């Protein structure tokens, strides 16, 4: 039997915010959903968010989950965590934040927390009209684990965000390799690529790639970002348009750009905004 925390058991036996948010015609509000997983693969989550459009803030959150104790508890925890947050603040939530809120999860159930993070991102990015690489539709050749529908980009991202070092850990966090096992060789290859030390050139290229993924999201709000310089663990960027002048520019810089770079490039990175010399 799994060793669950009191918080996990409470949210399983007494789930908060379980159910549906119906589409609304209420002026100034929008309802969006993020769906991840598959009933055929064992776990599935549909996250419902009600958004105050003017404030860019989540005013309600509900979930429908098919899965185990950890899946239901993680989904319930997520809805409690996001209510009242701006979309930028919600995007900063990681699967480890969900685990911390729950007081821990068994290692074999960590994929439930990842499922929650991905559903949240999918809902928000869908609302913003953006499809990040790790959440998009992938050609058949890009699947790594066909048993559980896990892609190379999803595996690589989870390895980097959670500092995973073994194929067993990857299985715990993504379920990849937990079926027929034929993908474990590919998982080992991805692990070797994702954990290899980066040269400075590789670090800069990776930072540029992450910023390129973020730019459509920023441009949708009238802003933009451009890499200015990288010196050790300090990354200098230029915020443009609305990003450079709005009241939430610090939130955008720290809770969106810096958080994403720390997750996907290096956990010690510090991002600062500069004004380029004319």
Shared domain for 26 and 62, answered yes or no, is yes
Helices 69-82 and 6-13: crossing angle in degrees, nearest 10, is: 90
Do 230 and 200 contact (CB within 8 A), yes or no? yes
User: Hey, which bits of the chain come out as E strands?
Assistant: 29-38, 43-52, 57-66, 143-145, 150-151, 223-231, 234-241, 270-273
**Domain final residue pick, 91, 110, 128:** 128
Nearest Cα residue to 73 out of 19, 124, 121, 4 = 4
Domain tally for the chain?
A: 3
Do 46 and 33 contact (CB within 8 A), yes or no? yes
pLDDT at 91: 86
CATH number, domain at 175? 1.10.10.1100
pLDDT at 107: 94
pLDDT at 278: 53
Q: Residue 1: inside a domain, yes or no?
A: no
pLDDT at 136: 53
Report the share of the chain in percent with pLDDT over 90: 55
Active site residues: 41, 112
The rounded distance, in Å, linking the Cα atoms of 237 and 148 is: 38
Shared domain for 78 and 21, answered yes or no, is yes
Shared domain for 208 and 188, answered yes or no, is no
Shared domain for 185 and 218, answered yes or no, is no
Radius of gyration of the CA atoms of the chain, in A: 19
The rounded distance, in Å, linking the Cα atoms of 215 and 148 is: 30
pLDDT at 139: 44
Range of 67's domain? 6-128
Residues of the chain with pLDDT under 70: 1, 40-41, 131-141, 247, 276-278
**Domain final residue pick, 195, 215, 234:** 195
Shared domain for 30 and 118, answered yes or no, is yes
Instruction: Output the CA–CA distances (angstroms, integers) from residue 115 to 36, 86, 175, 252, in the order listed.
Output: 7, 20, 11, 24
Shared domain for 10 and 124, answered yes or no, is yes
CATH number, domain at 119? 3.90.1010.10
Single pTM value for the model: 0.79
What tokens appear for 37 in the block?
A: 């997983």
pLDDT at 133: 56
**Domain final residue pick, 95, 111, 128:** 128
């Amino acid at each position: 039997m799994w060793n669950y925390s009191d918080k996990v058991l409470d949210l399983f036996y007494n789930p908060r915010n379980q159910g549906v948010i119906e589409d609304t015609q209420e002026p100034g509000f929008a309802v969006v959903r993020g769906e991840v997983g598959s009933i055929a693969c064992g776990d599935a989550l549909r996250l419902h968010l009600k958004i105050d459009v003017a404030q860019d803030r989540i005013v309600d959150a509900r979930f429908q989950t098919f899965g185990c104790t950890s899946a239901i508890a993680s989904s319930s925890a997520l809805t409690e965590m996001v209510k009242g947050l701006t979309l930028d603040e919600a995007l900063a939530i990681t699967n480890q934040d969900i685990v911390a809120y729950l007081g821990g999860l068994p290692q074999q159930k960590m994929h439930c927390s990842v499922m929650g993070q991905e559903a949240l991102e999918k809902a928000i990015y869908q609302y913003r009209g953006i499809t990040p690489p790790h959440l998009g539709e992938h050609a058949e050749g890009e699947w790594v684990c066909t048993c559980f529908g896990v892609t190379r980009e999803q595996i690589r991202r989870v390895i980097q965000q959670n500092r995973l070092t073994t194929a067993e850990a990857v299985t715990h966090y993504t379920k990849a390799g937990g079926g027929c096992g034929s993908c474990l060789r590919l998982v080992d290859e991805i692990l070797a690529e994702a954990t290899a030390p980066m040269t400075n050139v590789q670090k800069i290229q990776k930072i540029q790639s992450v910023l390129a993924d973020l730019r459509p999201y920023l441009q949708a709000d009238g802003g933009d970002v451009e890499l200015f310089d990288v010196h050790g663990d300090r990354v200098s960027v230029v915020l443009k348009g609305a990003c450079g002048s709005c009241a939430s520019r610090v939130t955008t810089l720290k809770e969106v750009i810096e958080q994403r770079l720390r997750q996907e490039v290096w956990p010690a990175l510090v991002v600062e905004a500069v004004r380029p010399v004319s």
